[in-house]
A and B are shown apart, each in its own frame.
Chain A
Amino acid sequence: MPNENATAPLPVVVFADFICPYSYIALDQMDDLLRDYNIELLWRPHWLHPEVPPSGAPIPAEAATDGRRAQTLAWLKEMAPERSAHMRFPDRIQFSLFAFEALEFAQDHGLALPFKTAVFESLWADGRDIAQFSTLQAAAAKVGLDSEELGRALSAQRYRKRVHDALQLARDAGVTKTPTFVLGRYRIAGWHYYEVFQTVMEKQNVLLRSALDNSSPPAER
């Protein structure tokens, strides 16, 4: 079925958790998709480890071995050679909820996309703890958000209910894998190749951005 209104952007939703390495390596793919196609991109939370306290939790012994880490790195290297070259693995499972709240704050200020990238990079490239307000505030400042205001929003749990509603939305949508991509009528569970996303765009007759009059990616909604 063709996209009935070919000039309307196709909604693309990525359900992800900042602590998921496969969500991290999907960053470039989604940025490329937004650059190339007439889509509207939204990152939504899917909380992998709600049982983990704000102080974090030890990585299970079977996953913390050098062998397992080398294995995961080898896989990531095949999937995303550029991103994987600079990845640093945390020594604990981190607490994601504050970062999800900060993402809502960024969305209200029209900067969710660059902010989510900054948070991912704080964890996976810089090796910082995203449960720390200071980490999230630094990421906010990096993309032009008011870091002091973000700190107040986090302290007051201003976005807590909105995040819980978003997490419920992911559950209601049957999301069980991270990342999960909902691209119009298609759903892709788990990381996949960029060419697969291109195929999905073509199957829905999504226009290339170069075919539109205004070829720059849209501002965030």
Chain B
Amino acid sequence: MAVQPLCYRPNRIVNEYIVEPSAIPWRQGRVAGITFKCQVLLSGADGGPEALRFRFDPCASVFAHMHLTSQFQLLLQGRMDFPKSTMKLRGPAIHYTDHNFPYGPFAVADSHDMLVLHPKQGGLISMADRDARRQINLKARHLYGAAATAEWTLMTEFAGLRCKPLIPPAAGPCAVMLECPPLSRLNLPPTPYGRYEVVLSGSVSVSGRTLLPPGFRYVRDDSGVVSPLEAGPGGATLMLLAFDRDACEGGLTGEGLSVAAAAAMERAI
């Protein structure tokens, strides 16, 4: 079921994937009575990043589960309610977990639409699996933030550019919204562990391609050479999601729990 990214340019210095979701078909999914639509945006089958888009039908309880890699959930619209009283996400919002960290159960509603973004294939493990619970990452970080509760800050070094940190860089992995004026050029810093750059509104040109919401680029570089982004004539709002060293942990190793995780993800999507 490997789906190749629309643009894959492996390079010794930079790995860059550019994805336009509008060109990718939707699938119908059903797991444990939960129904959803799904797009496989990046399969990760080439050893690169794995990106999925889900639209869950309204559901009071999506079962608790974990993935064997770091994950950003970017809630584009709708709502996701978690048991924690302060964790009632309304899009746009972000939810990050380190590898092997369970989350949920959670409720979804209101035209839910979400990107699930991994630095590599992460599989799927239901927490009903008692053996899997013994492999929960005890030191994992669990971070979240919502656009509605963060403040815009003017970036003085870039004319007209504003940013809104949903998960500040000090946390390790970070999630930052950027509002770019029309035709502004954005040279982003190096990203040794990988970064998703998702268009939330407006348009962006990158490497000769134009991206509309929720198109994105995933980039990982070791040298600092990353092609710039350029906002379209109407400007753009972006969500930058950068992994840290946890992105190097876990993954589908072909052994133990990862075999079941890979099979479960295959069944789900």
Contact = CB atoms under 8 A, between A and B. Distances in A.
Chain B interface residue bracket vs A: 10 to 19
A22 B83 contact: yes
B127 A193 contact: yes
Nearest to B133: A195
Interface in A168-202: 177, 186, 188, 190-196, 198-200
A52 interface: no
A78 B107 CA distance: 13
B133 A71 contact: no
A79 B102 CA distance: 12
Contacts of B138: 186, 188, 196, 199-200, 203
Contact of A193 (B63, B105, B133): B133
B-side interface mostly: loop
B116 interface: no
B105 A195 contact: no
A70 interface: yes
A195 B130 contact: yes
B160 to A, nearest CB: 37
A70 B60 contact: yes
A194 B133 CA distance: 9
A212 interface: no
Contacts of A194: 133
Nearest to B61: A74
| Of A75, A188, A191, A203, most B-chain CB atoms within 10 Å | A75
A192 B136 CA distance: 10
Contacts of B105: 74-75, 78-79
B12 interface: no
B144 to A, nearest CB: 13
A79 B127 CA distance: 10
Given A70-B60, A195-B130, A75 B136 contact: no
A174 to B, nearest CB: 16
Given A78-B61, A78-B64, A193-B127, A71 B107 contact: yes
Contact of A199 (B61, B106, B107, B134): B134
Interface in A65-118: 67, 70-72, 74-75, 77-79
A-side interface mostly: helix
A67 B83 CA distance: 14
Contacts of B133: 193-196
Nearest to A196: B136
Contacts of A177: 84
B57 interface: no
A188 B83 CA distance: 16
Contacts of B130: 193, 195
A19 to B, nearest CB: 12
A203 B137 CA distance: 13
B95 to A, nearest CB: 15
Contacts of A72: 83
A198 B134 contact: yes
A193 B61 contact: no
B100 to A, nearest CB: 11
A71 B134 contact: no
B81 A71 contact: yes
B61 A71 contact: yes
Nearest to B107: A71
A67 B130 CA distance: 29
Given A195-B134, A199-B136, A75 B83 contact: yes
A75 B134 contact: no
Interface in A33-89: 67, 70-72, 74-75, 77-79
Nearest to B127: A193
| Of A22, A67, A78, most B-chain CB atoms within 10 Å | A78
B127 A75 contact: no
Interface in B51-93: 60-61, 63-64, 81, 83-84
A200 B107 CA distance: 29
Interface string B120-156: 0000000100100110101000000000000000000
B105 to A, nearest CB: 5
5 contacts: A71-B81, A79-B64, A177-B84, A195-B133, A196-B138
- Nearest 6 Cβ contacts at the A-B interface: A195-B133, A74-B61, A193-B133, A74-B60, A71-B60, A75-B105
Given A186-B138, A193-B102, 8 more contacts: A78-B64, A79-B64, A177-B84, A191-B83, A193-B130, A194-B133, A196-B136, A200-B138
